[in-house]
């Protein structure tokens, strides 16, 4: 505590001066800064499209500036749409499940792999779990089709061979929440695990040695050493994923379901809708939807951080 105060004092007493060190660090940060300005800050002005009746009158910029303002008219369709409720329910519902599973399962597997004695085996398992992450959803969609297609699918031909009737999987909404959740977990598990595993392997082994001498079982070691040490990382990952609660993986919900009409109620999320609007409706409407998504996302991340700070201020990010 005292050292922190001391440091502050020191900093205050120093006159503001540009150090050589500052130049170096600034230069080092320059590429990233430029990248951020170009690709993260400049595109933000596109938000005004959501409030405009988009008209062509030259290049993109002059289109944006010369189009007439329409206030909140572009937002109307979002809230007048009959399916707004279904879409928001899907988006948030799936995300809540993904967030929970996306923390519980990777932590569980990370702990299990961390406990393995054989280094080789743990590397092999880890790599195998990581592999699906590198597949694009388009590929996954094709693989899914190979399994679930009505006439040529593996699952259906197995069903028929066993004397059952083939099922038209892409027209049965009741199965799809499970398929989607399974695929998301399958694809994201290895990636989610990396950070937890890195934390676990970097934990000071003396804690465990002391615990073993005291006669702690593996369960007790996990419960009283590993999990408390992981808490900070878990909370951080939680806040990060909550901030994206209004975003969904477009590939998963659009590609894998093959845009099947029958699955509308279980597979349409905000991103899918924005894409479909872009195809048929105006740019203004699509950007309005994306704008609402960003604002809500920003609100949720701030709320989540606020709640975390109330409970445990050390874990909060901001």
CB 297 within 8 Å of CB 245? yes
- Please identify, using beta-carbon distances, which residue of 149 and 199 lies nearer to other proteins: 149
In whole angstroms, give the CA distance from residue 299 to residue 245.
10
Burial 50-78 (b: 16+ CB within 10 A, else e): bbbebeeeeeeeebbeebeeeeeebbebb
Q: Which residue in this structure is represented by tokens 């996990």?
A: 222
Least gap, CB of 41 to other proteins (angstroms): 7
Query: Rule CB under 8 A: is residue 81 a binding residue for other proteins?
Result: yes
- Please identify, using beta-carbon distances, which residue of 191 and 276 lies nearer to other proteins: 276
Query: Rule CB under 8 A: is residue 60 a binding residue for other proteins?
Result: yes
Query: Rule CB under 8 A: is residue 40 a binding residue for other proteins?
Result: no
Least gap, CB of 259 to other proteins (angstroms): 8
CB 230 within 8 Å of CB 207? no
Instruction: Determine the interface stretch with other proteins among 34-42, 183-191, 193-201, 205-213 (rule: CB under 8 A).
Output: 34-42
- Please identify, using beta-carbon distances, which residue of 76 and 209 lies nearer to other proteins: 76
The interaxial angle of helices 283-311 and 270-280, nearest 10 deg, is: 160
Among 61, 162, 213, 311, binds other proteins (CB under 8 A): 61
In whole angstroms, give the CA distance from residue 211 to residue 218.
10
Instruction: Determine the interface stretch with other proteins among 1-9, 76-84, 208-216, 238-246 (rule: CB under 8 A).
Output: 76-84
Least gap, CB of 213 to other proteins (angstroms): 47
Among 47, 73, 236, 316, binds other proteins (CB under 8 A): 73
The continuous run of DSSP H or E covering 30 comes out as helix 20-36
Query: Rule CB under 8 A: is residue 229 a binding residue for other proteins?
Result: no
Rounded to 5 degrees, what are φ and ψ at 52? -125, 155
Per the structure block, which two tokens stand in for 181?
């959740």
Query: Rule CB under 8 A: is residue 149 a binding residue for other proteins?
Result: yes
Q: Binding residues for other proteins, how many (CB under 8 A)?
A: 46
Least gap, CB of 37 to other proteins (angstroms): 7
CB 184 within 8 Å of CB 249? yes
Q: By rule CB under 8 A, what string of x and - marks binding of each residue 248-287 to other proteins?
A: ----------x-xxx-x--------x--xxxxxxxx-x--
Residues in 101-130 at the binding interface with other proteins, rule: CB under 8 A: none
The continuous run of DSSP H or E covering 283 comes out as helix 283-311
In whole angstroms, give the CA distance from residue 242 to residue 70.
32
Per the structure block, which two tokens stand in for 186?
């399958």
Residue numbers at the binding site for other proteins (CB under 8 A): 37, 41-42, 44-45, 54-66, 73, 76-77, 80-83, 149-151, 168, 170-171, 258, 260-262, 264, 273, 276-283, 285
């Amino acid at each position: 505590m005292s050292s922190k105060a001391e440091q502050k004092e020191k900093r205050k007493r120093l006159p503001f001066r540009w150090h050589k060190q500052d130049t170096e660090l600034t230069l080092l940060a320059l590429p990233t800064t430029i990248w951020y300005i170009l690709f993260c800050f400049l595109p933000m002005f596109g938000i005004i499209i959501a409030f405009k009746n988009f008209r062509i009158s030259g290049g993109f910029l002059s289109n944006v500036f010369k189009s007439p303002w329409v206030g909140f008219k572009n937002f109307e369709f979002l809230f007048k749409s009959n399916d707004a409720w279904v879409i928001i329910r899907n988006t948030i519902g799936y995300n809540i499940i993904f967030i929970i599973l996306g923390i519980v399962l990777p932590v569980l597997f990370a702990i299990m792999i961390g406990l393995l004695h054989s280094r080789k085996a743990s590397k092999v398992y880890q790599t195998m779990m990581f592999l699906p992450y590198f597949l694009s959803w388009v590929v996954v969609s094709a693989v899914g089709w190979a399994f679930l297609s009505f006439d040529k699918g593996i699952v259906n031909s197995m069903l028929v061979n066993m004397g059952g009737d083939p099922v038209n999987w892409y027209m049965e909404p009741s199965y799809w929440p499970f398929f989607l959740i399974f695929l998301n977990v399958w694809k994201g598990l290895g990636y989610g695990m990396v950070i937890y595993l890195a934390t676990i392997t970097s934990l000071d082994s003396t804690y465990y040695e002391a615990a073993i001498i005291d006669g702690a079982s593996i369960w007790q070691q996990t419960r009283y050493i590993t999990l408390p040490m992981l808490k900070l990382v878990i909370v951080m990952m939680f806040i990060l994923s909550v901030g994206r609660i209004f975003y969904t993986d477009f590939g998963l919900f659009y590609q894998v379901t093959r845009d099947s009409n029958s699955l509308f109620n279980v597979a349409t999320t905000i991103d899918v809708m924005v894409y479909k609007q872009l195809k048929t409706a105006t740019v203004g409407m699509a950007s309005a939807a994306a704008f609402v998504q960003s604002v809500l996302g920003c609100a949720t991340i701030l709320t989540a951080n606020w709640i975390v700070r109330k409970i445990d201020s050390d874990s909060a990010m901001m």
